[in-house]
Structure formats: C-alpha cells, structure tokens
Amino acid sequence: MNDKEIRSLANQLKLSYGSIKQMPEPFQLVFCNPSEELEHSLERFGASNWFIQWRRGAVSVAKHFSPEELVYLSPDSPNVLEQMDPTKIYVIGGIVDKSRKKGASLNAATEAGITTVRLPIQEHFTERLDHILNVNTVVDVLINFRELGDWPRALDIALPQRKRSNIGRKAIRRRQKQQMLQTTCAETQSKGSACNVKQHLPNFNSTEPPESELSPIEDLSLWLDRD
C-alpha cells in the first residue's frame, strides 16, 4: 500500500476502535502484523494507549491462532454468516486496495485452513450492493448485529447509502463513455463506414482488473476476538 492508502487504513482502524469502545460489552480487538509505516500512522491517533492486543512477527493469521478457532470474513466466500459464534475469532483483512483481485482473501484463508464467511448483504437487500467494504464498516455491521440480532437492521444502519447502488460512480462514467462511443459508431455507420464498438469498450462484465493493477494482500489483519 502507498502512503495515502496506509493513512486511510489507519483512519479506518481508528474508527473501528472508537465504535468498539462504545459497546456495552466490547469486542476484544487484536491488530496483527502491522507494518512500521502503519504503526507510525496509527500513532497519530495515540494507538499505543488503546486497549487492544498487538501480534507481530508472523506472516499468517494461522500462526497466531489455531485455524480451527478462526473465521475469515471474505466478500468472495460461498458461506454466509448467519450467527456470530462467541467461541470464534473473526478476522477482517486490513488492506486498502482500489483494484482488488477477486478471490484473493478467500484463497489466502483457504490455503491456511481457515473457515471463510461473508456478510449476508445479498440476502437481505433486493438490490445488489457493493460488498467490498471498509474495515470500519464491517466492524460496525458486526457490532450492530451483536446488539440487535437482526441482519437487515444491522446492515441498514452501517452501510452508506452509496453502497446500496447497483452502479457506482465509476461504472456510471464507463457506461456514459459506452453510450458516447455507440452514438459515434452509429453516426459513422450512417455515413457508410464500418464500426466495431467492442474494440473500443472495456469489458463491463469483468470483475478483475488488469494484472498490472493488482495489489497483493497485506499481512495486517484485524480480529474481533471472542468475548
């Protein structure tokens, strides 16, 4: 992650900690494998004085805890989180990546022998939401469900309205460009020239960015430990 992304992640972790502190019975929070840059960024918020655990020095979450007690939250998991098990440790990958490779967190967890689940976003909203969420948003959803026991309400409170749109701002711009190209192509064809729109358009059905834009998963993860 670059400096801007590290600062963004640090801010998300600060917001997560703030939300957890307000719980009547707070989750136990563990930060694992933070980079020096992230720790330095977190110090702007006084993180060394937070009531959290730090786990450093391992390349995998499974090196800190037994894989059997871990549950990794991945948006690509085929398993839906229905209830929170107080005997489990819930893992949230800490990465800010605008060009996320599909399945990266799922593959990493599977290789480590860790059970994966995803938030039940698709099951509780008729419109398709963007299920790639900030760390603090995921934490807020889990807090809301812990306190309310109701997924629709937990999601409705935590998710920003823009996350409920089936078409994000970038997608809107791409489709506007598509419409412009189609209009230009129609005008070209009306003049008797051939035009192949597909040669000029991005693949709107693709969920993965080009290889040159992919970023690796960072080693930092955030745990919502057992009560």
Beta bridge partners of 32: 55, 221
pLDDT at 193: 64
pLDDT at 195: 58
pLDDT at 189: 63
**Nearest Cα to 91, choosing from 106, 118, 73, 76?**
73
Q: Mean pLDDT over residues 106-112, rounded? A: 86
Question: How far are the Cα atoms of 119, 138, 173 from residue 144, in angstroms, in the given order?
Answer: 12, 10, 34
Determine whether 76 is an active site residue: no
| CA 156 and chain centroid, separation | 17
User: Do residues 38 and 220 lie in contact, with contact meaning Cβ atoms separated by under 8 Å?
Assistant: yes
The CATH code for residues 3-159 is: 3.40.1280.30
| CA 121 and chain centroid, separation | 13
> Considering 3, 85, 97, 225, which one is annotated as catalytic?
97
Give first-to-last CA distance, the chain, whole Å: 31
pLDDT at 63: 84
pLDDT, tens digit, 9 for 90 and up, residues 117-134: 999 998 887 665 556 788
pLDDT at 199: 44
pLDDT at 201: 40
Name the residue with tokens 């809107």. 172
Higher pLDDT: 20 or 57? It is 20
User: Do residues 224 and 139 lie in contact, with contact meaning Cβ atoms separated by under 8 Å?
Assistant: yes
Domain range list for the chain:
3-159
pLDDT, tens digit, 9 for 90 and up, residues 158-198: 986 655 554 445 544 555 666 666 666 666 666 666 655 44
User: Do residues 148 and 154 lie in contact, with contact meaning Cβ atoms separated by under 8 Å?
Assistant: yes
pLDDT, tens digit, 9 for 90 and up, residues 47-66: 999 999 888 876 678 888 89
Q: What's this model's pTM, rounded to 2 decimal places?
A: 0.72
